[in-house]
Amino acid sequence: MNKNFPFTINPLPYGYDVLEPVIDKQTMEIHHDKHHQAYADNLNKILEQNADKQKLGLEELMKSDIAGIKNNAGGVYNHDFFWSVMTAPNTSKMSESLKVVIEKNFETVDEFMSKFELGGLGRFGSGWVWLVKTTDGKLEIVSTANQDNPLSDGRQPVLGLDVWEHAYYLKYQNKRVDYVKAFWQIVNWVKVEDLLNNS
């Protein structure tokens, strides 16, 4: 992605059908090529009218008090992040070292997964659920509305799941719970651990 105006989005880092059957090809095409692209297009359009903001980076724009800038900047950032933490079903396993960190913060991996699922299911309307690293190095589950990102209050996301209906409706319809539970099959744990250690 372009880190400055005019913003672009990253190409999907794998084929549109690679996450099947957990996320279907058509959903990925619409989600990346239409929804994600639209956030970048809309952000650029608003910035054309706000020349004083054109020098700001994406993370700064995500904190903007102009709703259109904040929401679209978040949409660009969050989706690039989201694509990067997924991979083909059942090809990535949590390492022993990551498991130790998860257990230190959540008692058990099951407890972590259940808290994350509840965060995604409890988000009313559109938003995200995240695993974040706090400034003192602790792991927490947080849920944000719309395209808000925990970075804006100083917490570093290491895993995130889009629970907007556009992310799952074609395949799962109203059953967000099935989508959230199926997500575990496509988590890229290598990427999660990399974010945890290097960001």
Q: Known binder of ligand: residue 36?
A: no
Please check if 162 is assigned to a binding site.
Answer: yes
Rama region for 165: left / alpha / beta (φ>0; ψ in -120 to 50; rest): alpha
Alpha carbons 129 and 119: distance in angstroms, whole number:
6
**Min dist. Cβ of residue 47 to Mn ion (A):** 21
SS3 for the chain, per residue? CCCCCCCCCCCCCCCCCCCCCCCCHHHHHHHHHHHHHHHHHHHHHHHHCCHHHCCCCHHHHCCCCCHHHHHHHHHHHHHHHHHHCECCCCCCCCCHHHHHHHHHHHCCHHHHHHHHHHHHHHCCCCEEEEEEECCCCCEEEEEEECCCCHHHHCCEEEEEEECCHHHCHHHHCCCHHHHHHHHHHHECHHHHHHHHHHC
Q: Is 162 in the site for Mn ion (CB under 5 A)?
A: yes
Site stretch for Mn ion (CB under 5 A), options 86-94, 110-118, 130-138, 155-163: 155-163
Nearer to Mn ion, 35 or 53 (CB): 35
Q: Which residue is nearest to Mn ion (CB)?
A: 162
**Nearest distance, CB of residue 58 and Mn ion, angstroms:** 16
Only one of the segments 83-91, 105-113, 164-172, 180-188 lies at the binding site for Mn ion (rule: CB under 5 A); that segment is 164-172
Cβ 95 to Mn ion shortest distance, Å: 28
At its nearest, how many Å lie between Mn ion and the CB of residue 35? 5
Kindly write out the interface string for residues 27-66 of this chain, putting x where it contacts Mn ion by CB under 5 A and - elsewhere: ----------------------------------------
Minimum CB separation of residue 41 from Mn ion in Å reads: 15
- The residue (of 164 and 189) whose beta carbon lies closer to Mn ion is 164
Are 34 and 85 in contact by the 8 Å Cβ rule? The answer is no
Q: Is the Cβ of residue 64 or residue 127 nearer to Mn ion in the bound state?
A: 127
Q: In the complex, which residues of this chain contact Mn ion (CB under 5 A)?
A: 162, 164, 167
Q: Which residues are annotated as a binding site for Mn(2+)?
A: 31, 79, 162, 166
